[in-house]
């Protein structure tokens, strides 16, 4: 195989269809940028889940009499609950928070607000704060084990509170993937069409190649490489767009919730992690589309 010949043919082909090539590159770039955004959303969701898995606990609030009479979980009811929880393989650790400790934390949390003055220690329950070893199955198991037990007022899963945040992030991911899919269909059709036009404008060359006995690979390779080049260039533009977008828009947009520690920041490394994936998707899909188009629509 003469690589200089193939390279020459590819360059010529791209130059000859320059407007089409640009359209194809841009459509691919937009589609892949959306895919990239979706991948970043997935990564952020994973990171956020990690972030919260360290923080989120299941709280077993104790009944008011237990709360009032047991300041250090030394009495049988609280001890019993504590032992049950600690014996569960799904639980990592259990910490007792007394009424007084709860009150102190409450004061600190609402410092300077009128709510802080209204509350008395007696109105807050003592809690067993349970850190889960198994995030998936743990919460349900704890709930089942604790609900209805003597001395238990209620069981609160903090994950129910952050579920809304995950819903939002999940929504962002779904919308970007849906847009990416629509855009990808447009990109696929454009790639297919460009390959056909390219083959048509070069039908004399291709005819001569067939006649003199060029192999199928030799006749097809320039068209395939053309498609792959545009796919890869589109992916590179998409990656650059994501980097620029991160610094210009995303950082600004997320600055509030990132500095509050609600979601982790999107790092440059995250974008750089996404880029090679986009290049592979771009090149791969272009190659497959080009190949199928040549097989189905172009007689080579």
Partner 1 sequence: MIRLDRVTKVYKTSTRPALDRVSAEIERGEFVFLIGPSGSGKSTFLRLLLREDVPTRGTITVNDLNVAKLPRRRVPRLRQRIGCVFQDFRLLPNKSVGENVAFALEVIGKPADTIRKVVPEVLDLVGLDGKAERMPNELSGGEQQRVAIARAFVNRPFLLLADEPTGNLDPDTSQDIMLLLERINRTGTTVLMATHDHSIVDSMRRRVIELDMGQVVRDEARAVYGVGR
72 binds partner 1 per the rule CB under 8 A: no
Instruction: State the nearest-atom distance from the C-beta of 17 to partner 1, in Å.
Output: 14
By rule CB under 8 A, what string of x and - marks binding of each residue 1-30 to partner 1? Answer: xx-xx-------------------------
Q: Which is nearer to partner 1, 1 or 136 (CB)?
A: 1
Q: Does 296 bind partner 1 (CB under 8 A)?
A: no
Q: Total residues at the site for partner 1 (CB under 8 A)?
A: 18
Applying CB under 8 A, among 109, 163, 208, 272 the residue interacting with partner 1 is 208
User: Is residue 218 part of the contact set for partner 1 (CB under 8 A)?
Assistant: yes
Q: Choose which of 186, 210, 265, 284 interacts with partner 1 (CB under 8 A).
A: 210
Residue 201 binds partner 1, judged by CB under 8 A: no
> Minimum distance between the CB of residue 23 and partner 1, rounded to whole angstroms?
24
Does residue 216 bind partner 1 (CB under 8 A)? yes
Closer CB to partner 1, 5 or 200, in the complex: 5
3-state SS track over the chain: CCHHHHHHHHHHHHHHCHHHHHHHHHHHHHHHHHHHHHHHHHHHHHHHHHHHHHHCCEEEEECHHHHHHCCCCCCHHHHHHHHHHHHCCCEEEEEEECHHHHHHHHHHHCCCCHHHHHCCHHHCCCEEEEEECCHHHHHHHHHHHHCCCCCEEEEEECHHHHHHHHHHHHHHHHHHHHHHHHHHHHHHHHHHHHHHHHHHHCHHHHHHHHHCCCCHHHHHHHHHHHHHHHHHHHHHHHHHHHHHHHHHHHHHHHHHHHHCCCCCCCCHHHHHHHHHHHHHHHHHHHHHHHHHHHHHHCCC
Is 65 within 8 Å of 106 (Cβ atoms)? no
From 89-97, 107-115, 204-212, 277-285, span contacting partner 1 (CB under 8 A)? 204-212
Q: Which stretch binds partner 1 (CB under 8 A): 211-219, 231-239, 255-263, 282-290?
A: 211-219
What is the nearest approach in angstroms of partner 1 to the Cβ of residue 221? 11
| Residue range at the interface with partner 1 (CB under 8 A); choices 22-30, 62-70, 109-117, 213-221 | 213-221
Residue nearer to partner 1 on the CB measure, 118 or 212? 212
Taking CB under 8 A as the criterion, the residue among 143, 165, 205, 258 binding partner 1 is 205
168-172, long-range: CB < 8 A, 24+ apart? 169/41, 169/44, 169/45, 169/48, 169/263, 170/45, 172/41
CB of 289 to partner 1, least distance (A): 23
- Residues engaged in binding partner 1 (CB under 8 A): 1-2, 4-5, 204-205, 207-216, 218-219
């Amino acid at each position: 195989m003469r690589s200089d010949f193939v390279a020459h043919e590819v360059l010529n082909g791209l130059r000859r269809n320059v407007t089409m090539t640009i359209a194809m590159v841009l459509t691919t770039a937009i589609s892949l940028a959306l895919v990239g955004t979706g991948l970043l959303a997935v990564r952020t969701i994973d990171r956020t889940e990690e972030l919260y898995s360290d923080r989120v606990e299941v709280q077993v609030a104790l009944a008011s009499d237990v709360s009032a009479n047991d300041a250090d979980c030394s009495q049988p009811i609280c001890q019993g609950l504590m032992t049950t929880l600690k014996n569960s393989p799904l639980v990592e650790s259990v910490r007792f928070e007394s009424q007084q400790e709860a009150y102190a934390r409450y004061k600190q949390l609402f410092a300077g607000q009128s709510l802080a003055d209204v509350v008395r220690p007696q109105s807050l329950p003592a809690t067993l704060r349970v850190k889960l070893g198994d995030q998936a199955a743990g919460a349900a198991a704890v709930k089942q084990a604790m609900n209805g037990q003597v001395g238990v007022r209620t069981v609160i899963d903090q994950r129910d509170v952050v579920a809304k945040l995950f819903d939002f992030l999940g929504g962002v991911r779904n919308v970007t993937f849906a847009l990416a899919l629509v855009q990808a269909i447009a990109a696929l059709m454009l790639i297919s069409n460009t390959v056909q036009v390219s083959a048509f404008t070069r039908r004399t060359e291709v005819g001569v190649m067939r006649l003199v006995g060029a192999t199928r690979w030799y006749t097809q390779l320039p068209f395939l490489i053309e498609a792959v080049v545009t796919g890869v260039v589109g992916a590179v533009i998409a990656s650059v767009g994501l980097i620029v977008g991160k610094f210009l828009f995303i950082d600004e947009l997320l600055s509030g919730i990132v500095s509050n520690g609600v979601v982790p920041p999107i790092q440059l490394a995250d974008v750089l992690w996404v880029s090679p994936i986009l290049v592979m998707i771009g090149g791969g899909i272009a190659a497959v589309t080009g190949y199928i188009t040549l097989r189905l629509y172009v007689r080579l």
